[in-house]
Amino acid sequence: MKSKNVLFLCTANSCRSQMAEGWARQLLAGVINPHSAGVATQGLDQRAVQVMREVGVDISGQVSKSLDDLPDLEFDAVVTLCDQAKESCPFFPGTATRLHRSFEDPAVLARDAVDEASTLQPYRRVRDEIREFVRQLPDMLE
C-alpha cells in the first residue's frame, strides 16, 4: 500500500501544523507522507519545538512553509487545523480528501502566562490533542 501525501495546514505553519507533521512522521511512518504549510509563514515556534522534544519528537529541522513552497506535490488529503486555515484553504485539484479539526492556538492561550512553566502548559495540552488526532488519521482517510 502506497503511503498517502497528507498536508497539515494552519495559519502560520509555526506550531500546530508543525506538531502534526512531527507526530505523523513519528507515529505513521510508511502510512502517511506528511507535509505542513501555512496560509502565511511565521517561523517555527520554539516552544512547540521544546514541548515536542519533551516527548521524543524532534521538529527542530522543520521550517515554516507556505503553500507556494509546495507547488509540485499532489495531496491525498488536506487537513486544516484551525478555523482560519479552513476558511482560507484554497481548492486542491484532484481527489484530495479535506478534513478539518480545529485546535486552539497555544501561543494565544499562553499570552497571559506569568512564568515559563505556565506558558508551556497550553503547548503541552495542544501537543497531546494533536497526537491523538494524528493516531486516528489513517481510519479517517480510508
Domains of the chain: 4-140 (3.40.50.2300)
3-state DSSP of 39-90:
CCCCCCCHHHHHHHHHCCCCCCCCCCCEHHHCCCCCCCEEEECCHHHHHHCC
What is the per-residue DSSP string for 88-140? HPPP--SS-EEEE-----HHHHTTT-SSHHHHHHHHHHHHHHHHHHHHHHHHH
- Residue 82 among the catalytic residues: yes
Mean per-residue pLDDT, 116-138: 97
Average pLDDT estimate for 27-32 = 96
HSE (CB half, 13 Å, CA atoms) of 121? Answer: 10
pTM score, whole prediction: 0.93
15 as an active site residue: the answer is no
pLDDT digits (tens, 9 = 90+) for 15-29: 999 999 999 999 999
Annotated catalytic residue, options 7, 10, 51, 137:
10
pLDDT given for residue 1 in this prediction: 62
Average pLDDT over residues 62-83: 90
pLDDT of residue 39: 82
pLDDT of 44 strictly over 70: yes
pLDDT at residue 50 is higher than 80: yes
Catalytic residue among 12, 48, 82, 137: 82
So what's the pLDDT on residue 92?
Answer: 62
Band (pLDDT 50/70/90 cuts) for residue 89 is low
89 given a catalytic annotation: yes
Written as nine digits, the cell of 117 is: 512553566
Work out the average pLDDT over 29-46. Answer: 93
- Is pLDDT above 80 for 70? yes
Other C-beta atoms closer than 10 Å to the C-beta of 117 total 8
Residues in the chain: 142
